[in-house]
Amino acid sequence: MGDRKVIVFDTTLRDGEQTPGVNFDKDSKYRIAKQLVSLGVDVIEAGFPAASNGNFEAVKHIAENIDDVVVAGLSRCVKSDIDKTYEALKNAKKSRIHLFIATSDIHLKYKLKISRDEALKMAVDSVKYASGKFDEIQFSAEDASRTDWDFLVKIFNEVVDAGAKIINIPDTVGYAVPKEFEKLVEYVKKHIHDKDNVTISVHCHNDLGMAVVNSLSALENGADQVEVTVCGIGERAGNASLEEVIMAINTRKDYFNLLHSINTREIFSTCKLVSELSGIDLQPNKAIVGANAFRHTAGIHQHGVINNKATYEIMRPEDIGITTDHISMGKLSGRNAFELKLKNMGYELSRDEMNLAFKKFKDVADNKKIVNDDEIKAIVDDVILNSKSIKEGEIWV
Ligand SMILES: [Zn+2]
């Protein structure tokens, strides 16, 4: 069997916008959507059209102006939501309605205050009502990871029979653990009707820091689609991060044997754009795209990386679109790292100048954890200036 292709469903503009304090305006959403196309995602969930006028307008604008991708809109299982979503998506080149209803007993009892049978009927009626209005129908069983498995399979099969071709298993509250979640995916896959024509999707939250690992476990065990956000932004602790899922698949291709359509060289600029427009700074130790992700501080690590990057780097920064060397200089840095840093900064020094510059650097570094490029420049300029006046003095003498 050949490698399977993972469908990347990006929900930065919908779940990502549910990050506390984040509100993308129409222009920001459109800019991000265009960048997501360059990045190569398969589906963009542009928003929740029935939630507000602003949301509706933003989804409509994306649907009407972005061609190379499926545009999805979230919708509750009620007619008025479906109608709104239809109005927003009707001019999309390829539209997908993303219907959802909660299926766990705790959500049914305390949130929706309806029975399992009532939820089942609302789901099926909604899929039937949406049929013919959209190119694709996706159905999500909200809080699936805390739903009775037999009821979950029952509702999935009824919506599949009614016309939904994508079924999503959300770990809405970030409660699942990898082994258990992969078993759930296997169970659904085993019992679903029309297996060959139904796409199984997962949507994981990061409340326990397991969104990425749960997503990867699901993909490994038969899920076809993964729902992600750029930088992992989203409700509460966020969603599975697009860049982490993709770079895990790439870096461990030997293990996962999965394909995808993401152009990884667009990852860094996409994360920068989302960070800028959301106002959320990337934590320095964020995997893949944090400022420290490709920095090496210990002298022994720096020496290794200079001789062969593979000693301490499992990914190449240029593969995600980072071009600078990101060698962080500090008191643990050795002579090799210092010389390379200067070379990267465009300096050519004599042996004596290098000796002096390295000594001065060590003096400065002793009092600081990190010596930045500007400080290194000041040290080197000082050394060059001094050695020049010494030489000129010699000529004069
Ligand atoms: Zn979510």
Return phi, psi of residue 183, to 5°: -65, -40
Gap from CA of 205 to ligand 1 centroid (Å): 6
pLDDT of residue 374: 77
pLDDT digits (tens, 9 = 90+) for 325-352: 667 898 889 999 999 888 877 777 889 9
What is the whole-number distance in angstroms between the Cα of residue 232 and the centre of ligand 1? 11
Q: Mean pLDDT lowest for which of 32-36, 142-146, 331-335? A: 331-335
Better-scored residue on pLDDT, 390 or 56: 56
Exposed e or buried b for every residue in 157-183, given b needs 16+ CB within 10 A? bbbbebbbbbbbbbbbbbbbebeebbe
Determine the distance separating the centroid of ligand 1 and the alpha carbon of 57, expressed in angstroms: 21
Alpha helices in the chain (DSSP H): 26-39, 53-65, 79-89, 105-107, 116-130, 149-162, 178-191, 211-220, 242-251, 253-256, 267-278, 299-307, 335-344, 351-366, 373-396
The owner of tokens 């960048």 is: 35
- pLDDT tens track for 175-208: 999 999 999 999 999 999 998 999 999 999 999 9
d(CA 214, CA 180): 9
CA of residue 15 to ligand 1 center, whole Å: 5
Flag whether pLDDT at 39 surpasses 90.
Answer: yes
Q: Which residues contact 269 (CB under 8 A, 6 or more apart)?
A: 35, 321
Q: In a 3-state reduction of DSSP, which class is residue 124? A: helix
Q: What is the pLDDT of residue 99?
A: 98
Q: Which residues, in sequence order, are bridge partners of residue 197?
A: none
Instruction: Answer whether residue 358 shows pLDDT above 60.
Output: yes
How much of the chain exceeds pLDDT 90, in percent?
Answer: 74
DSSP 215: H
Q: Which residues contact 277 (CB under 8 A, 6 or more apart)?
A: 24, 28, 31, 32
In the chain, the amino acid numbered 184 is L
**What are the pLDDT digits (tens) for 126-142?**
999 999 999 999 999 99
pLDDT of 24 over the 60 cut: yes
Q: What is the dihedral of CA 83, 85, 88, 89, to 10 degrees?
A: -110
Q: Near ion ligand 1, which residues have CB within 5 Å?
A: 15
Q: Tell me the CA–centroid distance for residue 46 and ligand 1, in Å.
A: 14
pTM of the model: 0.83
Does pLDDT of 26 surpass 50? yes
256 CA from centroid of ligand 1 (Å): 25
Match 């020496």 to its residue by tokens.
303
pLDDT over 50 (residue 396): no
Question: How remote is the CA of residue 109 from the centroid of ligand 1, in Å?
Answer: 20
Q: What is the pLDDT of residues 250-309, one digit of tens each?
A: 999 999 999 999 999 999 999 989 998 999 988 889 999 998 888 877 888 888 888 888
* Cβ atoms 312, 296 nearer than 8 A: yes
- Compute the distance between CA of residue 350 and CA of residue 242 in angstroms, rounded to an integer: 46
Q: What is the pLDDT of residue 381?
A: 80
How much is the average pLDDT of 50-73? 97
Q: How far is CA 179 from the centre of its chain?
A: 22
Per-residue confidence (pLDDT) for residue 130, from 0 to 100: 98
